[in-house]
């Protein structure tokens, strides 16, 4: 077996997040066989697939391969409800019944936790996975990209093709969002196709259209739109705005924005925003609190799932006492901090995105909470500036987890209990090893499925000092 070779194999299992473990057997000329395992992403357990070897590792048990095609579908699969599945990179498990998805995620994360905790501390309470309240149409935010479906093809607006940095699939009828998103997408695409406005081509560094950001609150129905472009042209956006406002939407457009971004990187970056209509924020409600959200502020993409997640977090935290100081690190727009405020003396949130910190302060005032303080900056630096020491710490870091130096500062506080919320279990388990080495143990852990049909899941772990 060598790099570049085409092989067939059976996907025996899938490790988190979407790493299929494929067994391939090759018959040699002398009649003997060679058996090898490969990691092939975006595959389904029980499927027989064809893949191309991308890496052969002499000193590791598994090589790596790139998926080519399915030879025999898995008995777990159902008829897929989306014609873009397998082409669009948005979903991983849309072809599986929802209950099967939950079982897979639960087994995957339990395996990761067991590898660290059973050897590091012994038994712990694992409470399984809690499903999302909505299985479909649950997302409240989409970042659509402009591009073409193939080289020099017509203008497209949607999601990148799986495994491609350039090709874009126009995802009409996407199962992750409601009909309003589809109407806005199609109307915008048709408008700019008719005007023959070009998209920004990263290789040639020319063109105008970059992204369309759509955010819609589940509880209030408010919709905020932001068209992201370069400054290379000045087309008529007034008519585009009026076209959107005339759409028969179930929700209500409260703001239409135009953001410019001339950076080379393919990210939604704000280098200046104009309000074409309404305002530059919308409101969402969670667990009786009201949140003012700007276009680039972090907010959980599944509002109903966020309520389940935060209710479970409050249950884990319990009654900490009204004389306690709580740190909410990586606090975003301050959702968790505000939920903790009624049962704490003081809550201090730290977040690196200044826009999110500004939103958190406004939200706390909006909800009448006077014991919340939000600080802008990197957790690593900001911790040194806070005089009040914590009695309880809540961690909700980005996907890569806590920076090792920041983690050491958190450990040095020596709080009796802390809560870790993670959207990437592999980062969580890496950080848990450090906590175990410093005398902590995991009391309870559970999963909340914030992202149906994808490979991702939220994990909550309650830790305490031995």
CA nearest neighbour of 439 among 123, 126, 120: 120
Q: Which residues are catalytic?
A: 423
Residues 263-296: b if buried by 16+ CB within 10 A, e if exposed:
eeebebeeeebeebebebbbbbebeebebbbbbb
Which tokens belong to 87?
């082409």
Distances from the Cα of 266 to the Cα of 159, 166, 207, 368, angstroms: 13, 10, 13, 39
The dihedral built from the CA positions of residue 424, 425, 426 and 430, taken in this order, carries a sign that is positive
3-state secondary structure of 21: strand
Give dist(CA 464, CA 443) in Å, integer. Answer: 7
Residues 6+ away with beta carbon under 8 Å from 50: 6, 7, 8, 68, 69, 70, 71
Give dist(CA 116, CA 122) in Å, integer. Answer: 9
CB-facing half-sphere around the CA of 298: CA atoms within 13 A: 17
* Residue 290 backbone dihedrals phi, psi, to 5 degrees: -115, 135
């Amino acid at each position: 077996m060598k790099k570049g070779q085409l092989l067939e194999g059976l996907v025996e299992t899938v490790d988190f997040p979407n790493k299929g473990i494929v067994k391939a057997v090759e018959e040699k000329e002398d009649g003997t066989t060679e058996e090898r395992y490969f990691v092939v992403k975006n595959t389904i357990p029980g499927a027989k697939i064809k893949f191309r070897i991308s890496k052969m590792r002499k000193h590791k048990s598994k090589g790596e391969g790139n998926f080519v095609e399915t030879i025999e579908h898995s008995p777990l699969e159902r008829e897929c409800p989306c014609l873009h599945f397998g082409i669009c990179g948005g979903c991983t498990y849309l072809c599986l019944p929802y209950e099967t998805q939950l079982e897979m995620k639960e087994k995957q994360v339990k395996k990761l936790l067991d590898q660290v905790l059973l050897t590091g501390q012994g038994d712990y309470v694992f409470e399984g996975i809690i499903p999302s309240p909505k299985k479909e149409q649950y997302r409240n935010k989409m970042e659509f990209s402009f591009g073409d479906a193939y080289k020099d093809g017509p203008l497209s607006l949607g999601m990148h093709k799986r495994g491609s940095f350039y090709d874009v699939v126009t995802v009409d009828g996407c199962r992750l969002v409601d009909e309003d998103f589809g109407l806005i997408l199609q109307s915008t695409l048709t408008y700019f196709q008719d005007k023959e406005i070009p998209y920004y081509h990263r290789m040639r560094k020319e063109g105008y259209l970059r992204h369309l950001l759509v955010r819609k609150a589940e509880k209030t129905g408010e919709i905020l739109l932001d068209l992201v472009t370069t400054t290379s042209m000045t087309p008529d956006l007034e008519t585009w705005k009026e076209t959107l406002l005339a759409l028969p939407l179930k929700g209500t457009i409260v703001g239409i924005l135009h953001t410019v971004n001339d950076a080379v990187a393919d990210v939604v970056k704000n280098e200046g925003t104009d309000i074409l209509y309404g305002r530059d924020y919308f409101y969402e409600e969670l667990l009786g609190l009201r949140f003012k959200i700007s276009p680039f502020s972090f907010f959980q993409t599944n509002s109903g799932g966020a309520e389940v997640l935060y209710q479970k977090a409050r249950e884990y935290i319990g009654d900490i006492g009204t004389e306690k100081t709580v740190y909410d690190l990586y606090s975003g727009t301050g959702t968790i901090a505000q939920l903790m405020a009624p049962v704490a003396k003081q809550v201090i949130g730290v977040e690196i995105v200044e826009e999110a910190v500004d939103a958190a302060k406004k939200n706390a005032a909006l909800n009448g909470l006077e014991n919340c303080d939000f600080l802008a900056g990197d957790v690593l630096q900001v911790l040194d500036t806070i005089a009040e020491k914590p009695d309880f710490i809540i961690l909700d870091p980005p996907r890569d987890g806590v920076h090792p130096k920041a983690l050491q500062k958190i450990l040095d506080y020596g709080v009796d209990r802390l809560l870790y919320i993670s959207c990437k279990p592999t980062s969580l388990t890496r950080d848990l090893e450090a906590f175990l080495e410093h005398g902590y143990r995991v009391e309870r852990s559970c999963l909340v499925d914030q992202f149906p049909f994808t490979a991702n899941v939220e994990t909550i772990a309650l830790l305490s000092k031995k």
